[in-house]
Amino acid sequence: MDYQWVKALHLISVMSWMAGLLYLPRLFVYHSQVENNGAQALTFALMERRLLKAIMNPAMILSYGFGIWMIVMNPILLEMPWMWVKLGAIAIMTYAHMLFGKMRKELESGHARPTKQYRYWNEVPTVMMIVIIIMAVVEPF
């Protein structure tokens, strides 16, 4: 397959993953503000579970797959310092993804963290996205 096609598929999967990373913690904020086991809490739990399992997990796997495929097709990328910064930001995004999975299970079992904590974590994917885009587009070093 042509490198540009793999790159396009990588970007599509990353956009899908990012949409979930940006939306899921916002759902946590709303979920943490409603009564445990009420109708709204059950609705939020269902939305969170479907978002994570049906969209975010497959999108993350595809993002990694297409990203690795691009590196295999163009291994010189690993010699560029900006790529290592990008990979570090991806590692932080992956950690956030895994933490969001844990937070989802906590909320589903009725153990909410302080709302402020969900608001804080809502910003992490945005900052990582900014770093990744700057590294990939500008290649500052």
Burial of 54 (0-12, 13-18, 19+ CB in 10 A): exposed
Look at residues 96, 70, 88 and name the one whose alpha carbon lies nearest to residue 18. 96
The answer to whether the pTM exceeds 0.85 is yes
Q: What is the pLDDT of residues 14-66, one digit of tens each?
A: 999 999 999 999 999 999 999 988 999 999 999 999 999 999 999 999 999 99
Domain boundaries, the chain: 3-72+90-138
Q: What is the pLDDT of residues 65-95, one digit of tens each?
A: 999 999 999 999 999 999 999 999 999 999 9
∠ at Cα 100 (35, 60), nearest 5°? 140
